Each structure stands twice: as C-alpha cells, then as structure tokens.
C-alpha cells in the first residue's frame, strides 16, 4: 500500500492515525480561524498529525436558499490564512473542474465529494494538478468500484490518493458503514479515511434540524473504524453546532473532539503493533487471514 505525504504528514501503513477536521463550510474568517486554533491545540496535545478542513463551497444543499459558502476566491484566501497562521495543511471540496488550478495554488489536499466521485472531467482535472486527492466513496457505490476513480486519476500520472468511507445508502434516508469496505478499499492500494460525521447524516431532513443526524453513533463508528485499521479520520466539527449554517445536525461539537480522539488514538496504538506485515515492512492486508 502506498504511503501518502501531505506537507510532511505521512498517511498510511506504519504511521500514526492522522486527523482531517474542521467545520463543514467556511462561514466566516473568524469562525474558521478560531476553530483551527482549537483543533490544532487538541491535535498538538495528542501528538496527532492534522489537516484542517473547511469547504469554500457546498453545492449539494437541500434548498437553493441554503448557505453554500463564501465561494472560491474568498474561501481560498481564508484557507491560506489558516496555513500561514497555524502552519497546518488544508483541504477543501471541489465541485467544478474549472476550479482545479486555483485550488492547487492553496490546498494541500483537494477533495472530490461523494456525489461527484464518478465525474470523469472533475477527476481528470484534479489529477492533473499533482496534488493529493481525497476521493469520498459515493453512497451509491460498492467499495470495489472505487478502482474506477483510481484508474482515472492514475491515468493522468497522479497516484497521490486517499479514499474515504462515509457510508452507503441503506434504504432512502439512512446510511450504514459497512466495515468490510475499509479493507476492500485498502486492498486497492491506498490509505483509507473514515468519515463518521457524514455517515450519521439523515437524508430527507434539513441539516439544521436536530433530526437530521444521529450524533450518538459518532463515537462508536469511530472506535470501530480505527479498530479495523483506518489510516485517518475525517471529523467535521464546530464550536456552535446549533448555530452552524451547514450540517449542524451531523457535526461533532468541538468540545467533544478531544475525548473522541483520545479514544481513537488509544485504539490505534493498541492495534498497530498487531497488524500483519509483509517482507517490505508494509501491512500485508491481502494475504491476512485474520488468524
């Protein structure tokens, strides 16, 4: 399996659990900077590698009137300020292939949203930037189908790929995390990220409605995913979830983040010494029988 380098952070076999975290969408420079400061302080206390996440645009909203973010130019300026102020790499979603060049000037990781994970034009444009690409598995895809996204990206000469599990449709309005997907995607040869905050989203209900997410499952899904051997966690978090402008019902309250990460780190450190290795020193997942 490949080890992916994000601004000096190694993600993959033999390396500590990494964290991708931040508010769903950029609401203001003040909120982003305050959240980044607090998340970085937590990550520093736990000695956990951190990539800060917030989206300059959230195009998949239930209403045309819903807040979508500040847009490309203003959003990237704010994320650049996060990099300059705190010295941490940054990640944001991309929705349009025309944004790829501008994103590559600022972002350390460009993220392809789940609903766009099969969009050829977008994947090719992002691949050609040479940046690390985090592809979120579509809710409608089998884990093995992520090979098609990988092929589109590597066909452009870019193999700097992360794959994220964020749940699979279970009926019309629910998602379920099939832990087998973590191994299946890892067997494709790239580090795997678990996003438990999107996995507990309840579709068909506004993200500002408390019924729009089942936050009581975030801790359990996180523990299970880390025990299964994921390489990183993707946690959307906010200092005031009730007042958040996007995904209020599914983001983890910032005051709970440190406890979640303490548990995740303890599990990661417990299982890493027992994971199988092949002759190269990398985890031999394909030949591992579970014995």
> pLDDT tens, 41-87?
999 999 999 999 999 998 877 778 788 899 999 999 999 999 999 99
What is the rounded average pLDDT of the residues 227-239?
96
Answer whether 25's CB lies under 8 Å from 60's CB.
no
Q: Is the pLDDT of residue 213 over 90?
A: no
Dihedral angle sign, alpha carbons of residues 244, 17, 151, 141: negative
pTM of the model: 0.93
Closest residue by Cα to residue 156 from 128, 135, 132: 128
Provide the residue ranges of all domains of the chain, joining segments of one domain with +: 4-274
Q: How far is CA 39 from CA 42, 180, 230, 256, 285, in A?
A: 5, 30, 20, 11, 32
CATH class of the domain whose range is 4-274: alpha beta
Q: Which tops the pLDDT comparison, 274 or 165?
A: 165
pLDDT at 104: 98
CB atoms within 10 A of CB 45: 11
The size of the chain, in residues, is 291
Alpha helices in the chain (DSSP H): 29-46, 72-86, 100-106, 120-127, 146-154, 180-186, 196-199, 218-227, 257-271
pLDDT at 273: 79
């Amino acid at each position: 399996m490949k080890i992916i380098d994000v601004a000096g952070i190694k993600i993959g076999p033999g390396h500590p659990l990494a964290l991708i975290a931040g508010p769903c969408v950029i609401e203001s420079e003040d909120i982003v900077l305050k959240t980044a400061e607090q998340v970085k302080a937590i990550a520093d206390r736990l000695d956990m590698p951190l990539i800060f996440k917030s989206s300059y645009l959230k195009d998949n909203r239930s209403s045309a009137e819903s807040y979508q973010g500040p847009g490309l130019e203003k959003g990237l300026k704010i994320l650049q300020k996060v990099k300059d102020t705190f010295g941490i790499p940054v990640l944001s979603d991309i929705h349009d292939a025309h944004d790829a060049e501008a994103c590559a000037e600022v972002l350390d990781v460009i993220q392809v949203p789940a609903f766009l994970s099969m969009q050829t034009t977008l994947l090719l444009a992002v691949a050609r930037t040479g940046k690390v690409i985090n592809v979120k598995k579509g809710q409608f895809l089998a884990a093995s189908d992520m090979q098609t996204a990988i092929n589109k990206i590597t066909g452009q000469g870019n193999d700097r790929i992360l794959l994220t599990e964020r749940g699979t449709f279970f009926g019309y309005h629910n998602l379920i995390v099939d832990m087998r997907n973590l191994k299946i995607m890892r067997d494709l040869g790239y580090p795997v990220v678990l996003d438990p905050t999107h996995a507990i989203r309840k579709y068909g209900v506004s993200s500002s409605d408390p019924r729009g997410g089942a936050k009581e499952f975030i801790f359990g899904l996180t523990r299970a995913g880390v025990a299964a051997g994921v390489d990183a966690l993707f946690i959307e978090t906010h200092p005031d979830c009730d007042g958040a402008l996007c995904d209020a019902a599914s983001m983890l309250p910032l005051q709970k983040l440190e406890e979640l990460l303490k548990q995740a780190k303890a599990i990661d450190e417990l299982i890493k010494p027992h994971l199988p290795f092949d002759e190269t020193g990398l985890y031999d997942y394909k030949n591992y029988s579970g014995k």
